[in-house]
Amino acid sequence: MSEIEFINKFNRKGILTKSNEYIVYKKYCKEFINAISEHEFAIIGIDGFSIDNADIFQPNIDEIADFSELLKTSWKNFRKESIDSAKKFINNIISHGKSNGFSFVLYSQEEYNQE
């Protein structure tokens, strides 16, 4: 399954920005991460956004997670650690953060092998 096909499964649980960035609504983030764990993707980063009723997206620079340092391990370990880290980040930020949507930067094994 391609990244686009995967994201299309969540098309009503988020919003696509004009710059083709998909932002998952906060209440669906845990479901999104669980779905990632069932497919062959890892998560290399997460960006928090405030979305208002006019679909204006304001990034929250204090609500960003970067998991790129985990790339130094095997694909299997990177994938597991990135998903575990994403779950921890989302669990914490959902209860304490300002963002009501999150953009997930997905990473495939093919991209990993090219590193």
Examine residue 115 and state whether it is found in any structural domain, yes or no.
no
pLDDT tens digits, 9-60: 888 899 988 888 899 999 999 999 999 988 889 999 999 999 887 677 899 9
- CATH number for the domain including 34? 3.30.190.30
Examine residue 113 and state whether it is found in any structural domain, yes or no.
no
Helix (H) or strand (E) holding 45: strand 41-51
More confident: 2 or 82? 82
- Which residues form the domain of 32? 3-108
Examine residue 26 and state whether it is found in any structural domain, yes or no.
yes
Examine residue 114 and state whether it is found in any structural domain, yes or no.
no
pLDDT tens digits, 61-85: 999 999 999 989 999 999 999 999 9
Examine residue 8 and state whether it is found in any structural domain, yes or no.
yes
The whole model's pTM is what?
0.90
- Our count of domains for the chain comes to 1
Give the pLDDT of residue 29.
Answer: 96
Per-residue tokens: 18: 């004009």
